[in-house]
A and B are shown apart, each in its own frame.
Chain A
Amino acid sequence: MNILEILFFALSALAIISAVMVLISKNPIHSVLWLILVFFAISGHYILLNAQFLAIVNIIVYAGAIMVLFLFVMMLMNVKKDKEPQKQLWVKLTGVIAGGSFLTLLIALVKQNTSFQGRDVLLKDGSIGLIHPLGQALFTDFVVPFEISSVLFLSAMVGAVIIGKK
């Protein structure tokens, strides 16, 4: 077992355990903090895949901006942890069973598929995740979607302000 496999399994275990903790922690603030840990584990996976630009963007945008927004809203609302309503036990059980059968179905489908067998993912090598090729592709082939996304941000900003002012 080389160092890359050890890193892969450690990051996977961290991501899955933190994702489960997001669900089962009673205090919503703790849920947000666990979700930040999930995002850091996913960024570690990106670095392992040598997608360095996406790793940094994931940390800045998700762990930095979006989760701070969540924390901010949660502290504005001042939600008490004992006030949070719980679903009945059978609803929770049904949800877990439904999600588990969904997971089992998808794993069975992937196991059956022969086109994934013997295909390997290139770890730590390859230059497509670096900032130079990505920037070149973004400003030549994908320049129109890039400009349209600025319009999307403008409309999101206007929409958030209008909703917040009511």
Chain B
Amino acid sequence: MPIEYYIFLCLTLFSIGVIGVLTRRNAIIVFMCIELMLNAVNMLLVAFSKMNYATAQTITPNTTAGIDAQIFVFFIMVVAAAEVSIGLAIIVMIYRNTHSIDINFLNRLKN
């Protein structure tokens, strides 16, 4: 499978996430679109790791090239889990104060 197919798929998913962040007003949906963008990047990292492994395998058959990328994906998942817990706590706190999760309410910092 050519690497370009994977790049195009991940770019499409990432752009759908960007469009979601730009067009929706529900704070939780915006947060979910950020998760979608993170997942697109994760999949691209795994595809690149298998691409490098395919090239290195023809030279040395027992190589572990490309294993760093998969460890990186693991750490991205770890950080994303911590980020989600904090972000949802902040959204719940905002909902308790304003009784709305509309992100247009969050422009108080402007004044």
By a beta-carbon cutoff of 8 Å, the part of chain A in contact with chain B is: 4-5, 8, 12, 15-16, 19-20, 22-23, 28, 31-32, 35, 38-39, 42, 45-46, 49-51, 53-54, 57-58, 61-62, 65-66, 69-70, 73-74, 76-77, 79, 84-87, 91-92, 94-96, 98-100, 102-103, 106-107, 110-111, 116-123, 126, 128-129, 133-134, 137-138, 142, 145, 149, 152-153, 155-157, 159-160, 163-164, 166
Contact of B8 among A35, A66, A110, A149 (CB under 8 A): A110
Q: Report the contact-size class of chain B (Cβ under 8 Å from the partner).
A: 35 or more
A91: nearest chain-B partner, CB-CB:
B23
Q: How far is the CA of A79 from the CA of B104 in the complex (A)?
A: 16
**Cβ–Cβ contact A86 & B9, under 8 A:** no
**Cβ–Cβ contact A103 & B55, under 8 A:** no
**Cβ–Cβ contact B11 & A103, under 8 A:** yes
Taking chain B's interface residues, is the majority helix, strand, or loop, or is none over half, making it mixed? helix
**Cβ–Cβ contact A122 & B39, under 8 A:** no
- Told that A22-B36, A85-B25, A111-B4 touch, could you supply 14 new A-B pairs with CB distance under 8 A? A12-B5, A16-B9, A20-B16, A66-B81, A66-B84, A70-B28, A100-B19, A106-B15, A126-B53, A128-B65, A129-B70, A137-B68, A159-B86, A163-B93
B24: nearest chain-A partner, CB-CB:
A23
Q: How far is the CA of A107 from the CA of B104 in the complex (A)?
A: 32
**Cβ–Cβ contact A153 & B36, under 8 A:** no
**Cβ–Cβ contact A61 & B51, under 8 A:** no
Q: Which residues of A contact B33 (CB under 8 A)?
A: 22-23
By a beta-carbon cutoff of 8 Å, the part of chain B in contact with chain A is: 1-9, 11-13, 15-20, 22-26, 28-29, 31-33, 35-36, 39, 42-43, 46-47, 49-51, 53-55, 57, 64-68, 70-71, 73-75, 77-86, 88-93, 95, 101-102, 104
